């Protein structure tokens, strides 16, 4: 197979091989990937990023891979394809798929009251009505009125990052409130997804992690994906993450993070290779024969439909909340995705089901300007690569 390799003579900068023939097979007309390599490298250098990767997929093929920097400064480990990232809130999409699996099996309805499964939520202060008014659908669309932050009670480094058990979280419910009438508007909520994960555990008698392993990871062949602490055989591949303050000072973030009771909204760790398999499942491409057993295509398509506007629009795009995924209309292109941001890692997946194209990006360091950099990169790829498929 003929390949084309781009190499930059920069400290710890690597570019993977790119299959040029794959571009021709997919009809993606030879875009300037050398230009994308330079753009990505320059962007990460400018923003003082320690390490990152960018992959682009089309019709089941990985048509571009790029890596920059290092996975671990202290170990002098270059960033490469084996590096395992923490995907943070992208975990929420797995939780939502788990809920849809249970819906399709007749074990719940999206319109069910959350208190039918979690009666302890009746302790939450709600000036807008009864807690029985909150539904699973509202948890799935971030319209439930629950607070945004996962764990707002951490004041010191020695305190736990998150609630460590469901019982500990339950004790905080009487100190929590509903912020608006459920269903009336959108507000991103981490606790809402923790509640969804708890519902999965109650209905299946499985720990959340084990349920997702059995019902998503195994049938999709995700062998380099896990929650929280790495298995022994993958520990050396876990990337270290780093934090930068406003003055540019760097510090090491928690290594091998345990997300504890909040695992269902942010505990996923995975290689880019496994994430590409997950994206191909979402795009319904390269089916290994088990996709329908993970989730029916009609149910996935239901998840991608826009439900409520988030109000986070920009000059170029309008954003909608779907069933846990986000859909943005970027200059006429309908693109689904989700981001992750936690413990120094910043990740994003974007995919267009109509054109069978996607890109995956991740950084192992977080500074003041990461969100702006992430948006700048997305705009560049949408306009210069995705747009080719719409003309």
pLDDT at position 60, please? Answer: 93
Give the per-residue pLDDT at 29. 57
- CA gap 337, 322 in Å, rounded: 10
How much is the pLDDT for 4? Answer: 36
Q: Where are the domains of the chain?
A: 4-89+234-293+340-390, 111-198
With 0-12 CB in 10 A as exposed, 13-18 as middle and 19+ as buried, what is 166?
A: middle
What confidence score (pLDDT) does residue 155 get?
Answer: 84
| Residues lower than pLDDT 70 in the chain | 1-31
Comparing 4-89+234-293+340-390 with 111-198, is the CATH topology the same?
A: no
Q: Radius of gyration of the chain from Cα atoms?
A: 21
Instruction: Round to whole Å and give the CA distance between 106 and 197.
Output: 17
Per-residue pLDDT tens digits for 109-143: 999 999 999 999 999 999 999 999 999 999 999 99
pLDDT at 117: 98
Is 4-89+234-293+340-390 a CATH 3.40.190.10 domain? no
CB atoms within 10 A of CB 214: 12
Question: Domain 111-198, what fold?
Answer: Methane Monooxygenase Hydroxylase; Chain G, domain 1 (1.20.58)
pLDDT at 30: 56
Q: Is 161 exposed, middle or buried (0-12, 13-18, 19+ CB in 10 A)?
A: middle
Half-sphere exposure of residue 346, counting CA atoms within 13 Å on the CB side?
23
The pLDDT of residue 20 is: 41
Q: Give the pLDDT of residue 248.
A: 85
Q: What predicted TM-score, i.e. pTM, was given to this entire model? A: 0.92
The pLDDT assigned to 150 comes to 86
Burial environment of residue 74 by CB neighbours within 10 A (0 to 12, 13 to 18, 19 or more): exposed
pLDDT in tens, 366-381: 877 889 999 999 999 9
């Amino acid at each position: 197979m003929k390949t084309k390799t781009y190499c930059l003579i920069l400290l710890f900068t690597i570019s993977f091989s790119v299959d040029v023939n794959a571009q021709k097979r997919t009809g993606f007309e030879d875009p300037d990937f050398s230009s994308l390599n330079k753009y990505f490298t320059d962007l990460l250098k400018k923003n003082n990023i320690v390490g990152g990767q960018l992959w682009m997929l089309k019709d089941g093929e990985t048509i571009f891979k790029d890596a920059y920097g290092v996975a671990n400064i202290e170990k002098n480990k270059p960033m490469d394809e084996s590096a395992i990232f923490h995907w943070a809130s992208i975990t929420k999409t797995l939780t939502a798929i788990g809920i849809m699996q249970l819906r399709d099996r007749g074990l719940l309805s999206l319109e069910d009251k959350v208190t039918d499964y979690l009666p302890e939520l009746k302790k939450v202060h709600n000036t807008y009505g009864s807690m029985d008014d909150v539904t699973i659908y509202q948890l799935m669309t971030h319209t439930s009125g629950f607070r945004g932050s996962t764990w707002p009670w951490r004041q010191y480094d020695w305190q736990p990052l998150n609630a460590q058990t469901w019982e500990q979280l339950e004790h905080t419910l009487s100190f929590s409130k509903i912020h608006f009438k459920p269903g009336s508007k959108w507000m991103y909520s981490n606790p809402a997804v923790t509640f969804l994960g708890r519902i999965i555990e109650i209905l299946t008698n499985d720990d959340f992690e084990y349920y997702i392993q059995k019902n998503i990871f195994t049938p999709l062949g995700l062998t380099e994906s896990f929650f929280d602490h790495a298995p022994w055989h993958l520990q050396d591949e876990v990337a270290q993450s780093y934090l930068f303050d406003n003055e540019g000072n760097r510090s090491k973030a928690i290594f091998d993070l345990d997300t504890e009771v909040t695992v269902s909204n942010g505990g996923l760790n995975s290689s880019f290779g496994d994430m590409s398999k997950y994206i191909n499942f979402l795009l319904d491409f390269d089916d290994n024969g088990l996709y329908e057993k993970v989730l029916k295509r009609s149910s996935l398509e239901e998840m991608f439909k826009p439900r409520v506007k988030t109000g986070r629009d920009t000059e170029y795009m309008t954003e909608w909340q779907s069933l846990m995924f986000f859909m943005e209309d970027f200059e006429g292109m309908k693109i689904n995705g989700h981001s992750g941001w936690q413990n120094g890692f910043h990740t994003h997946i974007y995919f267009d089901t109509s054109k069978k194209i996607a890109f995956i990006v991740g950084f192992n360091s977080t500074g003041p300007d990461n969100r702006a950099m992430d948006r700048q990169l997305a705009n560049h790829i949408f306009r210069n690569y995705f747009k080719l498929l719409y003309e």
